[in-house]
Structure 1
Amino acid sequence: MNYGQIYYADVANGIGCRTALFVSGCTHHCKGCFNEMTWDFNYGQKYTKEVEDEIIESLKPSYIDGLTILGGEPMEIVNQKEIRPLLERIKKEVPRASIWIYSGYTLEELTDASNKRCHGEDTDAILSMTDILVDGEFELDKKDLMLRFRGSSNQRVIDMKETLKSGKTVLSKYNDRDRSRM
């Protein structure tokens, strides 16, 4: 897996101050994508053990709320192979850190075991360690700058813990509009 960028004090991609990992590789190719250069799976730098160590260390200060993984597409099967061990390590070494994942795949696509495009042997484990999933492709005709933590109105901010507990999709309290800009 490659990555395009890591922000170690990001406040735009989730609640609080976070580390944000922008992975490379995406097959969605959404029109109007803000990060088009990350569509290329070879873009950026190689994700290594040393990079993972830096991410883990960045999550340890008490003012860091967690990790956000976006891209590119974190839930491409090839990227899941690296993301799962990272999340397992976070849950072991920094269990208070929340995990946010942005995916162009919907929750329904990710949980459909017959969908080999995005559901693989690591998918269920990744979802079980995810606190918030922002799902759905960016749709330029549904772009809305008033939405919190998403770019278009078709996308959802899903509370994965409650969703997995209840067996039905539970939207997060962050799935609303940004009232501070109104």
Structure 2
Amino acid sequence: MRVLEQVDASEVVEAGGVPVVLRAVVVKERAEDLIQRFADAFRAGGLHVPPGAEQPQLASGAAMLTAIDMYRGITFTVILQPQDVGVTLVYLGEANHTLRREPGTEGDVASLPPGARQVLRVNDEGSRTLSFLVPMSAGEVDAFYAQALRRDGWRREDGDLTVYTRSGEELRIVHEPAEGGLRSVVLVHRGRSPAP
């Protein structure tokens, strides 16, 4: 690939209890051409590449391709996001599923509302993210967190319904409608890590 820019990321992120190493590069290639090149390279490396219908497409406006090393329990994922004409942002991820540990709630910075499901916890050195689906309206989510966070010493930033702060910490809450009458909620915590 003709690399125009590279973003080094030496830290390991934990997503759903699985350690993941990520990096990103900007390349002078079309995403349509890269997807086949990655699929061919994965197969040539002895990896299993599930058929297209079994490939999850979780990134908006991007194409995802995942290959599996069945013997070592490692998945390799590439996310291709077109930028300008003929330029693609490529995210490369490697997840070691053999080192997975069940994520606990002890590191959660805020409580989950009743009925929360499909909970995903992502932790790295600079932030903690908690995302989930919940059968609540926008007003109910806002009211739940206004009460729960106030009780835990958080203050809402003036004029901003999405940001709360307390003693060197910031918590941003974003939510939007999801399928089936559910609401997709994401909490992003920055600052010192809460004590378990």
**Structure having the larger proportion of residues in strand:** 2
**Structure having the larger proportion of residues in helix:** 1
Q: Give the TM interval when normalised to the shorter protein.
A: under 0.3
User: What is the TM-score with the length of structure 1 in the denominator?
Assistant: 0.26
Higher Rg: 2
